[in-house]
Structure 1
Amino acid sequence: MDNTDTYLLNFKGCYFQRSLVDVDLVEHLDDFEIRDDDVFIITYPKSGTIWTQQILSLIYFEGHRNRSELVNTCDRVPFLEYSAQKVDHVNRPSPRLFTSHLPYYLAPKGLKNRKAKIVYIYRNPKDVLTSYFHFSNWLVTFEPSDNIEHFMKRFLDGKVMGSLWFDHIRGWYEHRHDFNILFMMYEEMKKDLRSSVLKISSFLEKELSEEDLDVVVSQATFQNMKLDPQANYDYILEAENWTRTKEGDFLRKGTIGDWKHHLTVEQNERFDRIFQMKMKDFPLKFIWDINEE
């Protein structure tokens, strides 16, 4: 049974989460006014979105670094197209930080003046698939799957929020010259968070002292984020009753190569064939296992 229309809204070829999307905003994205100092985190779902929200919050807000301000990262770096709280983006003070899963062709026109900045985080798609499978089964706002084979079919058909992974990353990369954009690989960030934070802060032209850099790196580790209610979204899920079970965490594992524990040999080989067909000429590298250099 295909419940796609129950959970998803198709707008101009992109699937949005029906129960959470701000339809009016999405319909007027072309006209959304972009400021020169706006910063966007753009990801395909389950690619390090919440992690990067935390990193940018720590870079930009001293009150977040020293814990003197109790503001959640989802409020500091809210989603553009998803807003349960109906954020008034127009009256937000600058610099505004945004989060988005938008494909390149739906991005506001103002982003193409190359002044506002975009940090695009990408992750190996087998781990994206695995994380997305667990995430969709946990949250009531997502369509559950009986098994990973069922979810893998929907993922490879692009019938999930964010649509087809291959199109999302390829679209942003092939149109990178239209934007002021930095591509960061999730796995490289996991392997060397300090260097990654320096690279991001340099791109954002936000100079950090050694002391501040140490704090950002420490508070942005996966384990510290799991324990930080301002960063991990668990409190929202509890307040809104968005989970199917009380067991589980918004930040589940964050590991590299977790797909090996979920995909069969046949599923892995099938995925590899499709990946090679669609991405054989794609220049960005991918890390599939924690032991890869």
Structure 2
Amino acid sequence: MAELPMNLRDDNISEETKTLISSLPRERDSQGKLCKYQGCWYYYNTLQALINFQTNFQPRDSDIVLASFPKSGTTWLKALAIAILERSKQNSDDPLTHPLLSDNPHGIVPFFEIDMYLKTATPDLTKFSTSSPSLFSTHMPLHTMKEGLKDSPCKVVYLCRDVKDALISRWYFRCKYQNKQVAGSILESMFESFCSGVSFYDPFWDHALSYWSGSLENPKQVLFMRYEEMKTEPYVQVKRLAEFLGYPFTKEEEESGLVNKVLELCSLRNLSGLEVNKTGKTWMNVDNNSYFRKGEVGDWKNYLTPEMETKIDMIIEEKLQGSGLRL
């Protein structure tokens, strides 16, 4: 069995965090020990990184945070945000000459709790935030992440996806980085964990609701986007994203076809075909090509039974009742 990535382990915990963990609800899954902190389940090393972030991060008002539940289109969102900002800052003849051609989106936009604060409580932020605005990302729910933002007005974009598709994508991703055969028994175990709300970054419904409520309370700071809408109306949604970030496409840019160029550059077909994404790895030794699979809406129908579909839909309907959020 391949060694677990550092964020899933429990070998980088301070004594203070060990004491905290002893007071928290705890569970164990096939990958390691989980604890529930501020309503969300984390592996121990990830919790340590999260606390490091909450305690030590010094945000700038211009920072932008890209948030999502795992396997909900995070790579695509990162790529689009990078392309929008890079095209706005550059004055070269080719406005699409930027880091996406030589680095994976996850290498360009770091996760607070997976990349930046996992190894140390005081990372060198200069290598993560050399420009303004700086892009960061997270899988934390909004209320937890905002503790690290310390009342900064920086903008937050949340991408939400049908959790059934996210579950299938997560299943494939887990099997790949653990070098395991894609097996139904693993999916069944993940399905049961999801339904119980006890899995890494779960419960999903509370996660989505944290950002949904934030977008209603402060729509100028929190943008709630849906993966399915990005698939059905990509032109409209990428313009919406650019406007929210403060870098709207000009009429001239639209007429020149730049919006479509951004969409093509960030397409699954193009990104997965780049050499860096076919052969490269993240610093945690995860293959870059693991982040590109199908990207389809409704692919879950090929894997989940009608009974599994019904159970998930009933849970989501119950948990979101009265919120105004429909998934």
Pairwise mapping of residues 98-247 of structure 1 onto structure 2 (< 5 A)? 98-109=136-147, 111=149, 113=151, 115-140=153-178, 146-176=185-215, 177=217, 180-208=221-249, 209-210=253-254, 211=256, 212-230=258-276, 232=277, 235-236=280-281, 241-242=285-286
CA distance in 1, matches of 2:290, 2:126: 32
Cα displacement (A) at 1:118: 0.5
Structure 1 spans left out of the alignment, 5+ residues: 287-293
Pairwise mapping of residues 88-99 of structure 1 onto structure 2 (< 5 A)? 88-89=124-125, 92-93=129-130, 94-99=132-137
TM-score calculated relative to the size of structure 1: 0.82
Preserved contact between residue 22 and residue 83 of structure 1 (Cα < 8 Å): no
State the secondary structure of the residue aligned to 1:115: coil
Question: Residue in 2 aligned with 1:16?
Answer: 42
Query: Structure 2 counterpart of 1:45, which letter?
Result: P
Cα displacement (A) at 1:196: 0.8
CA distance in 1, matches of 2:174, 2:299: 16
State the secondary structure of the residue aligned to 1:263: coil
Q: Using a 3 Å threshold, how does the CA distance of structure 1 residues 266 and 259 change in structure 2: closer, same or farther? A: same
Question: Residue in 2 aligned with 1:78?
Answer: 110
More helix per residue: 2
Question: Residue in 2 aligned with 1:66?
Answer: 96
Structure 2 spans left out of the alignment, 5+ residues: 1-26
CA distances 1:123-176 after superposition (whole Å, capped 9, x unpaired): 11111111112222222299x972422210111223322121111001222243
Question: Residue in 2 aligned with 1:289?
Answer: none
Question: Residue in 2 aligned with 1:7?
Answer: 32
CA distance in 2, matches of 1:101, 1:270: 24
RMSD (CA atoms): 3.2
State the secondary structure of the residue aligned to 1:82: helix
CA distance in 1, matches of 2:30, 2:61: 37
Query: Structure 1 counterpart of 2:76, which letter?
Result: W
Cα displacement (A) at 1:280: 3.0
Question: Residue in 2 aligned with 1:36?
Answer: 61
CA distances 1:182-217 after superposition (whole Å, capped 9, x unpaired): 011000001111111100000011033224323211
CA distance in 1, matches of 2:95, 2:196: 41
Query: Structure 2 counterpart of 1:10, which letter?
Result: C
CA distance in 2, matches of 1:31, 1:233: 35
TM-score calculated relative to the size of structure 2: 0.74
CA distance in 1, matches of 2:156, 2:73: 15
CA distances 1:40-84 after superposition (whole Å, capped 9, x unpaired): 001000111010010011011147953355344223211111117
Structure with bigger gyration radius: 2
CA distance in 2, matches of 1:25, 1:3: 19
CA distance in 2, matches of 1:271, 1:130: 13
Percent of aligned positions that are identical: 27
CA distances 1:245-264 after superposition (whole Å, capped 9, x unpaired): xxx74211110001111111
Which stretch shifts more, 176-185 or 57-66? 57-66
Question: Residue in 1 aligned with 2:18?
Answer: none
Cα displacement (A) at 1:268: 1.4
CA distance in 2, matches of 1:110, 1:240: 24
CA distance in 2, matches of 1:71, 1:242: 14
Cα displacement (A) at 1:219: 0.8
Query: Structure 2 counterpart of 1:221, which letter?
Result: S
Cα displacement (A) at 1:9: 4.4
Question: Residue in 2 aligned with 1:290?
Answer: none
Q: Using a 3 Å threshold, how does the CA distance of structure 1 residues 160 and 141 change in structure 2: closer, same or farther? A: farther
CA distances 1:217-244 after superposition (whole Å, capped 9, x unpaired): 11112211211345x486216x85547x
